Structure 1
Amino acid sequence: MQRLRYGVVFLLCIQASGLVAQDRTISRDSSPRQNPAFAKGMAYQISGRHADAILEFQDALHADSSALVLSAISRSYLQLGKLDHALQYAEQAIRNDATSKESWEILAETFIAKGLYEKGVQAYEQILSLHPTERQLFTFGRLLEPTNAKRASEIYELLVRSSPNADIYLRLSKLYKRQGLTQRRISVLEKANQLDRGNPGIISDLIQAYMQAGRFEEAMALAQDGGTTLQEYDGYDRWMCLLRTIYDDSDIVQQMQSELPAVLDKTIALRPNSYNCLLTAGTIALRSNNAQQAEVLLQMAARQSSPYNRFDVILHIGDLCLRMQQPMLASQFLRSNLNETSNPRADMLLGDIRFALHDTVGAITHYTNAVTSNPSLVDAWIQLGILHDLHGDDAQSDAAYRNALALNPRQPVAANNYAFSLVNRGRGLDTAEHLSWTALQAQPGNAAFLDTYAWVMYKSGKMEKAYQYIMLAIQRDGTAMHYEHLGHILNALGNPVGAVEAWETALQMEPQRLYLRRLIDTYR
């Protein structure tokens, strides 16, 4: 990789040798006077003996009060952390010679050390009219990068105009990206790639920029450059970079709908043995609702796993399909690849899949198998509590929630759900209140938990408290159930008009709550 000749310069850490015009400039300052005290002071400064350096420079001032000597004193005071003294000598140096780049530079560094960022920037701006060195331009650009991308870009543009450099082009590309200047970003990345071919960082950024600009053919060509039969090029998989760019940007997935099938087929042709490429391509296919290509790619990815991690890979891919809203594909994939079905992890995933497919009986079977193999699976007990409740099996549901809470007494979902189940049956209101409050303490902003606690308060006859918490739930979410509960609470508080309005809102949100029509007609 091409490197900056002037190296990486950090503010406040420039050595005293920086006072001598060592790096290439458009014009050089005049040489310092040959003063033994000054020379000795410079030697001390370079070796880090700044207190001794100051004494020698002070002696040199008797014969030479030039800006160079004053700046040298200022720099040593800066290194010693005596910022007021450093500022005093830097300002005196500039009064003596306003054309001294070094004096303006030390003034800028001192301002920045004092936390006066804007004054530091203003001092660096003065250097621009004095034929700055490459180092000074680079340092100024670095100073501006965090807060002023536009001005930092302008400074780096000046720098590469006289000295093209891949590292600076990379910095420019990141600044242009922040400003949304995609075409400029592409231009500097192309120049960087010419100067430093094979640099993974440049290639990755350029592929990404091409993709974001909709220049898909150029991105694919660059991703294939270096040979179509090699899985890696210079230790870096360009094709994987292309896939990751697509994967990370949902807008690109939408823009590439017509090109995606070809990209996915090309992945099979170019990277048939790369688990990462095949898995990423399969995920892209899932995201674009291309189940057919997704299945092919994911099956190929599974075949790349070793016998030692095959089970984990299969579960990972099955879970991926489920998370990408493809439960049927997840089921088919596991059925064709999973030999070990008695594993509790497998049963948990299979239970989740059956639940997503609305097969509650199958889900109960798998979750039951999971807790039979491993009774400490809290999540499985919670799911069993939910499912048995849906089936109206209160005894089984209660037992499942109690098992979950025995393992983790403060598990918020188990506590909330069990409380809601109890209060709806009019049983154990004190227990329900304790459980609901436990859940709410764990997640105070959870709208469902706020609603449960409000409903417990309503059933317990504590209407003011019920109203307080149902309004908190509505402020955070406002579901049809929340408005239904609000109606009951308002009616109990003697506000039937408000109750009817709340029930009408709930009915508008979920028209299937037909039973609310009777309440509305009764209390209107």
Structure 2
Amino acid sequence: MRSVFSSLFLLLALLYLPSEGQAQQRPASAAPAPADQLKPRKLTRKERKELARRAELDAAGRQRQLTERDREMSEAFFVDGVKYVLLEDYNKALERLLKAYALNPTNAAISYKIAETNLLSGNLKDATNFAQAAVRLDPKNAYYYLLLAQAYASQKQYDQATKVYAQLIQDVPDSGYYLFNLADLYLAQGKLDDALATLERAEKQFGPLDEVSFKKQQIYLKQNNLDKALKEGEVLIAANPDEIRYVLAQAEMYAANNRLPDAVRVAEQALRTDPENPQARMILADVYRQQGNTTESEKQIKRAFESPGLDIDDKVRVLVDYIKQLPNPKIEQTALDLAAITVRVHPKEAKAYSVAGDIQTLTNRKEQARNTYLQAIRLDNSRYQIWQQVVLIDAELNQTDSLLRHSEKALELFPNQAPLWFYNGVGYILAKQPAKGVKALEYGRKLATDNPELLAQFDTQLGDAYHELKEYSKSDAAYEAALTFDANNAQALNNYSYFLSMRGEKLDRAKEMSGKLVKQFPDNDTYLDTYAWVLYKQKDYAGARQYLEKALLTSKDATVIEHYGDVLYQLGDKDKAYAEWQRAKQIGGASSLIDRKIKDRKLYE
């Protein structure tokens, strides 16, 4: 079976000089339009006047003989016009070409070039008119028909374009191969039956053709005629057993229509021709998955991923499908394995590391994910989302040095990204440099004015930072701003109430906020400790003891234990208070007063 490849292109001659005989050729008469296409309409006076003027010019052009000088000038204007077309200066091109046309209106090549220039510059109506003129003047030139069809198609006048192709095939000798273009035009309009009939005409003229069979198969699929589509596919495979694309297309068709045994049969046929074909293995992986054969499915997809022939973008698409299903213990290891294969097979592709990092993040392999993201950045540092993932993981791991280093590097590239300033500010707070933290947070806050949720996060951190700087009014204002957006902001509620209790200020407000948290999270030892300390400051020692003892059921924090010792001291149980202070010191992390408390067996505040 032979293959025919046809294409539609326009004539872009650098120089087209019609012969003298052509220059004097009289225009052919236009064929009358069928009666059912005529739409009588009364012409306006202006339209009648314009038609009369054009008729006069046309008659004058037919009657007079071109002088040698006129012919030379017309050719010169034409050559100059073509030059400007190539330079894409369409205004100058049209100016020259219209001068050539005025001197020689019966030259088809001039009308064609004017039509082409108008088409390129977007003047579709003029392009159509001059292309029609070119066809009338030279009805045997296929390129003129093609340009006219293109002008109609550009205006979405597909029926007119179709008629032009039909006329071209009928009137121009040896133009049957334009049947393929006509079929494509029908397909573009969704006229599947007409497209099919046109392809069958092409088969009758040229014999069996692979491309025709392939297009017919696609049409049958759109018509939901699966049997004919599959039959056409089997014919293609029988005629081209070594043409792997036909075999793969057939296997995919079987798989998509739940003909799974046939899909396996045809995919394995492809592998006999190309044992490592990744597309065939992907088809098999999908079929085995549908059949519930997980082991064989994973085996096939991993072999497909091992092939450099499977494009990195195809692999990323598959991995993204896995990402959408995570976290899921059933597919977690397969996703990790495929990500590792992708990185190994495509070691210079940043996107391979990026998607692998996403999978590692979702499977709670944070440090590994950060290293993978950093590898992606080494290959391509232009992806803001990857930088954001890196600093987020730094913050989650509480690795202050890394957080500061990575956020500073990211800000060099993306200085207008508010989240990076947020993480940078958090880094400085964690590094006990609250002044630098405030500077970063205040700058980033100005960039986040269109994101209320992010603003609330900035305000929460600013509350912490200003407290460290002992700028309590600013700290309180920042927390209040955060709670205005989200009254349930746990970090703001806890820290604000705790700092108020430490200062002994607004204790009723502190009790309201911390009590709200304890009600929502009755087993959270941090919130229980905060509420207990507010009660302590209000001299409700019994209440404080109750909540601290509940917190100590789960907490081993030295601060909580020290607080418990302070409460016991206030309740008169000094020996037990002393024992709790010793325990807090042994654990580490108690207040700076712990040594004096133990030495003097006395409460200091």
TM-score by length of 2: 0.48
**Helix, strand or coil at the partner of 1:15:** coil
Distance verdict in 2 for CA 1:266–1:417, change over 3 Å: farther
The letter of the residue matching 2:79 is: Q
Match of 2:101 in 1: 90
Distance change >3 Å, CA 257–CA 350, structure 1 → 2: same
1:174-189 superposed matches below 5 A: 174-189=184-199
- Asked if 2 retains the 8 angstrom alpha-carbon contact of 1:204 and 1:241, the reply is no
Over the matched positions of the two proteins, sequence identity in percent amounts to 10
Counterpart code for 1:329? I
Instruction: Give a deviation string over 1:410-453, Cα, whole Å, max 9, x none.
Output: 46597266269679999948636636866997xx99x76x7424
- Residue in 1 that maps onto 2:440: 434
* Structure 1 residues 156 and 306: CA distance shift in structure 2, 3 A: same
Match of 1:209 in 2: 219
Task: Tell me the secondary structure at the aligned position of residue 132 of structure 1.
Answer: coil
Q: Aligned pair in 2 of structure 1 residues 277, 107: CA closer, same or farther (>3 Å)?
A: closer
Query: Which residue of the other structure, out of 142, 147, 161, is the alignment partner of 1:152?
Result: 161
Whole-angstrom distance in 1 between the partners of 2:404 and 2:175: 67
Query: CA–CA distance in 1 between the matches of 2:268 and 2:72?
Result: 64
Mean CA deviation greater in 329-338 or 177-186? 329-338
Alignment of 1:60-459 (within 5 A): 65=65, 74-81=74-81, 83-84=94-95, 86-88=97-99, 90-91=101-102, 93-94=104-105, 105=112, 108=115, 116-126=123-133, 132-135=139-142, 136-150=144-158, 151-162=160-171, 165=175, 167-192=177-202, 202=212, 204-227=214-237, 232-233=242-243, 237-241=245-249, 258-259=257-258, 261=260, 264-272=263-271, 273=275, 275-281=277-283, 290=290, 292=292, 296=296, 299-300=299-300, 302-303=302-303, 319=319, 322-323=322-323, 325=325, 328-329=330-331, 331-332=333-334, 352-353=358-359, 355-356=361-362, 359-360=363-364, 363-364=365-366, 366-367=368-369, 383=389, 386=392, 395-396=398-399, 398-405=400-407, 407-410=409-412, 415=420, 418=423, 428=434, 431=437, 434=440, 451-453=453-455, 455-456=457-458
Larger radius of gyration: 2
CA drift of 1:292 comes to 3.9
Distance 2:445 2:21 in 1: 68
1:465-498: CA deviation from partner (whole Å, max 9, x where unpaired): xxxxxxxxxxxxxxxxxx9974669xxxxxxxxx
* Matches of 2:12 and 2:345, distance apart in 1: 58
Offset of 1:118 from its aligned partner?
Answer: 1.8
* Residue identity opposite 1:353 in structure 2: I
The 5 Å alignment of 1:476-515 reads 486=485
Which runs of no fewer than 5 residues in structure 1 stay unpaired?
30-60, 247-252, 462-482, 490-513, 516-524
Q: Could you tell me which amino acid in structure 2 is paired with residue 212 of structure 1?
A: K
- Paired amino acid for 1:154: K
Q: Please give the alpha-carbon distance, in whole angstroms, between the structure 2 residues aligned to 1:138 and 1:208.
A: 25
CA distance in 1, matches of 2:131, 2:343: 69
C-alpha spacing 1:214/1:415, structure 2 compared with 1 (3 Å): same
Shift in Å, 1:308? 9.0
Check conservation: 2:145, 2:168, Cα contact below 8 A.
yes
The code of the aligned residue for 2:182 comes to L
Q: Do the aligned residues in 2 keep the contact of 1:68 with 1:103 (CA within 8 Å)?
A: no
Secondary structure at 2:224 match in 1: coil
Gaps of 5+ in 2: 31-60, 82-92, 464-481, 489-518, 521-605
Question: Partner residue of 1:477?
Answer: none
User: TM-score by structure 1 length?
Assistant: 0.54
1:155: Cα distance to partner? 0.9
Amino acid at match of 2:406: A
Contact persistence 2:111–2:133 (CA under 8 A)? yes
CA shift digits 1:243-285 (9 cap, x unpaired): 78x7xxxxxx9xx864364564344333233523225536866
State how many pairs are aligned: 406
Match of 1:520 in 2: none
Backbone CA RMSD of aligned residues: 6.1
